[in-house]
Structure 1
Amino acid sequence: MDDILSRVKKIHFIGIGGSGMCPIAEILIHRGYQISGSDNSESDTLARVRTYGIPVYMGQKAENLHDAELVVYSAAIKEDNPERVAARERKIPEIERSVMLGMVVRRYPDSICVSGTHGKTTTTGLITTILMDAGRDPSAVIGGKLPSIGTNGRAGHSGTIVCEACEYVDTFLQLYPAVSVILNVDADHLDYFKNLSNIIKSFHQFATQTSRAVVVNGDDLNSQKALEGIDNLEIITFGLDPKNRYYATNIAPTKGAKENFDIVKDGTPLCNVTLGIPGKHNIYNALAAFAVADYFGVPVESIKKSLHTFTGVHRRFEILGHFDGITVADDFAHHPTELTATLSAAMHMGFHEVWAIFQPHTFSRTAMLLDDFAKALTIPDHVIVSEILPVRETNTYHIYAEDLVKKVPSAVYRKTFPEITDYVIEKAKPGDLILTLGGGDVYKCANQIVKRYQEKA
């Protein structure tokens, strides 16, 4: 199957507007393939796809395949989809998106795949930005929109690709990178992995599929466990502990809680960095990106400048506006570790009070990590919890948003986004931060809040 890209030219994408699909289609069209696609609703992504001359059909029908020689589908597309049914009837090969991503990545000699339970999108965006700023012209597949390019992927003309490597359902095991990054290994997706031991085993397997070097968080015990027994690769460690090859020292927050620190390599100070994004967790992300860029020979001063000018990616502490002294922001945090990192950063940014609006994401994650979520949500001044977003699950766990609210003294429950919007706009005062958090569609609540403030103005 891996050689199929050498045998076909016409590829059809079902769900081409998906954030994980569009960058792959973009890369393939720049490599000379004829691409077509279908989707169910219009979006900015589809508008971008069409700028490449890719025909996009609305709705899924058998006739959309035309003379396609290969069909690619996203994980959300079921077997009974009319286009998948037609592909099987016509004996057209069909492959899932992650498999295609693996095939594409293997065609780049310098492939960089960024894994980790937390921080993948930010770090992938950082590495992409550093390489672009240095004139390396990488291709990229990122899990969120990078403001500097206005999209979540790009088709470069070099032999380098930077790719986010997601662990969910072992998707990242489709990837065989030249250089892999392991940011951290934490208990998540337990509906699939069942326990932390299985997660560590999967990260170990991902590391063994690397051909040249693994850049790994030397402060994270689980990441270190994932590398046990691997002695045929260059292991490059980063962290805050001086035992790491790259480490940060003299850490001090600057105005707006942006992090300032010195980077040391092999005991030798290299430079002082002021990050363009806040939070201790982003020091780790920046160190990982620095180590990768240095490995590929990007000059230190160039890396330093990129780290300073990088303002983040879409839905990662994204500031949406300032209204009568009130700041509204949105963040993708949906795991207790991510909530703790983001809320801790928010509480040190000089706001009068922080209003956290949290949408729990999946019944399984909420049930299995309930006490950890409750602990994280004690950090801000005020907490508003919405209904749990079920995603792909039914509530066999018998867990409800109210169960979380009962464990957090400062929390209230409001079922819908309009109710939350009314509540927080009534309560928030000048100098406050309103921060929406979650991996689902809680950004819609943030947009409603922004709209209400704009209407008031």
Structure 2
Amino acid sequence: MKDFNKTYFFSGIGGSGMLPLALILKSCGAKVFGSDRAHDKGESKEKFTVLSEFGVSLVPQDGKGVTEEIDSLVISSAVEKTVPDVQAALDKNIPILKRAELLAEIFHTAETGIGIAGTSGKSTVTGMIATIFDSQNLNPTVMNGGRVKNLEGDHKARSGSCLLGENKIFISEMDESDGSIDLFTPDIAVLNNIAVDHKTLDELKAHFTSFLKRSKRGCIINLEDLYSVELLPELTDKTILTYGIERSDADLSASNLQYFSDKTTFEINGHAVSLNVPGRHNVLNALAAIAASCLYGLTLENAVRGVELFSGIKRRLERLGEAGGVTYYDDFAHNPDKIAASLSSLRKFEGRLIVMFQAHGFAPLRMMGGEIIEAFKENFTSSDLLLMPEVYYAGGTVDRSVTARHIIDRAKQEGVNAHYFEDREKLASFLLETAVPGDRVVIMGARDDTLTDFCMKLMQNQSQAA
């Protein structure tokens, strides 16, 4: 990587997009400081320990750490001007960089940049490509929004959400939600799918089309996704690899799928694949990763062998364990497509579903509330339960015209067995009283780092009650 011999301060350094970028920047030679409200509260200690291990200095989020020696303050799109760190930077005329701007600067220093985009599956596909390239000793640098379980044991990937490599290859997840995808010019562009999430369909199509057209070496397109296929006429001058399931018109096609609770097996162009994550959606994710690897120049056989080493992303339908005959899953699903994909995977096996869905913001609930209800309605049986606490609130000014209670009321009208709870403690009590052996409990939602701890505590209390 290029030498970034400057001093940076990350406000909200524990965020899923901030922490890996801070570590990558540190590996590039920069001095890195940071603050986070969660660190001040003593929450999520593990990730802050990782930052400290890599020499990142953590200070309270009170603005006092933003001193004259700081060259740039780095913030995510979610950070508001009222945050003390931002106020301090403004008072001292310290330049303020958006996270994506800094990531793009680093991304473009690599010889080969691989960008993974789409409404769903970005973190998983990024993790799969990272695993394939790492298995071939290509030493890539990787920036991901999720923790790759099979890489966490490597010191270069201690945080799980990044891999600290060399400047030859940079693999990164792209973010369309804030429009920052427009900052990136990849060599290889991967598009998983397109569905309403954060932005309108027309806005998303515009972002993704522009992203694909900027690619230098070629594009990876999912033939299973109608809206992605609609972009193909715009890409006639590009090298394109397509993929799909049972698709004779695709460059890479999966066939003979067999589903298991913890894996999926299939064949791809004559090669047998044993994928260590369940679900049809993960077969598509694997195809995208294999296609990107082949476009880079790896053989199909090496790409297949590499993706078989992938064991999943933390909080992507992650089975945490079993207590009292009840199986517990921790899941990041938060938009209609992701919810439907997770439920569809679980639905292939026996057991009632009890899903706690915590919406990750009021705006997404306003935009996608109807589609979210439909995802549960289409994938639930009459015995399944939907439980919702109030919407996760991360601060700032919000429009609360649509709340979790509104969604639950509408879900009931659609025939979903749904229940609203004012807080998670009451929800937990109901869940523990209701769950019986054979049930499957899914804690579902994004942004809130405490959801995994909540799931683990439920499992612990279930075990004690058994």
Output one character per residue of 1:245-278: Cα deviation in whole Å (capped at 9) or x when no partner: 111122222x4263221112xxxx3x11121111
CA contact (8 A) 1:10 1:68 kept: yes
Tell me which residue corresponds to 1:159.
168
Alpha-carbon offset, residue 199 of structure 1: 1.4
Tell me which residue corresponds to 1:447.
456
Distance across 1 between alignment mates of 2:447 and 2:29: 35
Tell me which residue corresponds to 2:129.
127
Distance across 1 between alignment mates of 2:366 and 2:29: 47
Tell me which residue corresponds to 1:369.
368
Distance across 2 between alignment mates of 1:38 and 1:359: 26
Check 1:372–1:68 CA distance in 2 against 1; reply closer, same or farther (3 A cut).
closer
Tell me which residue corresponds to 2:255.
249
Name the amino acid aligned to 1:351: E
Name the amino acid aligned to 2:432: I
Distance across 1 between alignment mates of 2:286 and 2:457: 32
CA contact (8 A) 2:68 2:92 kept: no
Distance across 1 between alignment mates of 2:65 and 2:21: 23
Output one character per residue of 1:17-68: Cα deviation in whole Å (capped at 9) or x when no partner: 2221121121122222222222233232221111122222122324532412
Is 1:219 aligned with 2:224?
A: yes
CA contact (8 A) 2:193 2:222 kept: yes
CA contact (8 A) 1:421 1:448 kept: no
Output one character per residue of 1:161-183: Cα deviation in whole Å (capped at 9) or x when no partner: 11111110212112221111100
Alpha-carbon offset, residue 108 of structure 1: 0.9
Distance across 2 between alignment mates of 1:22 and 1:369: 28
Is 1:413 aligned with 2:420?
A: yes
CA contact (8 A) 1:374 1:408 kept: no
User: Which of 199, 207, 215 lines up with 1:210 in the alignment?
Assistant: 215
CA contact (8 A) 2:118 2:191 kept: yes
Alpha-carbon offset, residue 307 of structure 1: 2.7
Aligned residues: 442
Check 1:396–1:423 CA distance in 2 against 1; reply closer, same or farther (3 A cut).
closer
Alignment of 1:250-399 (within 5 A): 250-253=256-259, 255-256=260-261, 258-264=263-269, 269=270, 271-348=271-348, 350-378=349-377, 379-380=379-380, 381-389=383-391, 391=393, 393-397=398-402, 399=406
Alpha-carbon offset, residue 198 of structure 1: 1.8
User: Which of 79, 83, 86 lines up with 1:84 in the alignment?
Assistant: 86
Tell me which residue corresponds to 1:234.
239
CA contact (8 A) 2:408 2:419 kept: no
Tell me which residue corresponds to 1:402.
409
Name the amino acid aligned to 1:178: D
Alignment of 1:61-140 (within 5 A): 61-140=63-142
Output one character per residue of 1:350-408: Cα deviation in whole Å (capped at 9) or x when no partner: 33322222223433433443443233213234122213415463223474432233323
CA contact (8 A) 2:220 2:291 kept: yes
Name the amino acid aligned to 1:360: A
Name the amino acid aligned to 1:362: G
SS in 2 for 1:137: coil
Name the amino acid aligned to 1:173: D
Q: Which runs of 5+ in 2 are unaligned?
A: 40-44, 153-159
Check 1:425–1:85 CA distance in 2 against 1; reply closer, same or farther (3 A cut).
closer
Name the amino acid aligned to 2:297: G
SS in 2 for 1:248: strand
Alpha-carbon offset, residue 124 of structure 1: 0.9
CA contact (8 A) 1:15 1:39 kept: yes
User: Which of 428, 433, 438 lines up with 1:431 in the alignment?
Assistant: 438
Q: TM-score, normalised by structure 1?
A: 0.90
CA contact (8 A) 1:425 1:449 kept: yes
Alignment of 1:11-30 (within 5 A): 11-30=8-27
Output one character per residue of 1:425-455: Cα deviation in whole Å (capped at 9) or x when no partner: 2222222211122224344542331121243
CA contact (8 A) 2:14 2:47 kept: yes
Moved more, 361-370 or 139-148: 361-370
Q: Which runs of 5+ in 1 are unaligned?
A: none
Tell me which residue corresponds to 2:155.
none
SS in 2 for 1:18: coil
Q: Percent same amino acid among aligned pairs?
A: 26
Name the amino acid aligned to 1:59: Q
CA contact (8 A) 1:333 1:438 kept: yes
User: Which of 31, 36, 42 lines up with 2:33 in the alignment?
Assistant: 36
Moved more, 333-342 or 150-159: 150-159
Name the amino acid aligned to 2:328: V
Distance across 2 between alignment mates of 1:13 and 1:365: 26
Check 1:231–1:326 CA distance in 2 against 1; reply closer, same or farther (3 A cut).
same
Pairwise CA RMSD:
2.3
CA contact (8 A) 2:59 2:65 kept: no
Check 1:338–1:23 CA distance in 2 against 1; reply closer, same or farther (3 A cut).
same
Moved more, 38-47 or 438-447: 438-447
CA contact (8 A) 1:200 1:225 kept: no
Q: TM-score, normalised by structure 2?
A: 0.88
Distance across 2 between alignment mates of 1:277 and 1:452: 27
Name the amino acid aligned to 1:24: L
Distance across 2 between alignment mates of 1:231 and 1:88: 46
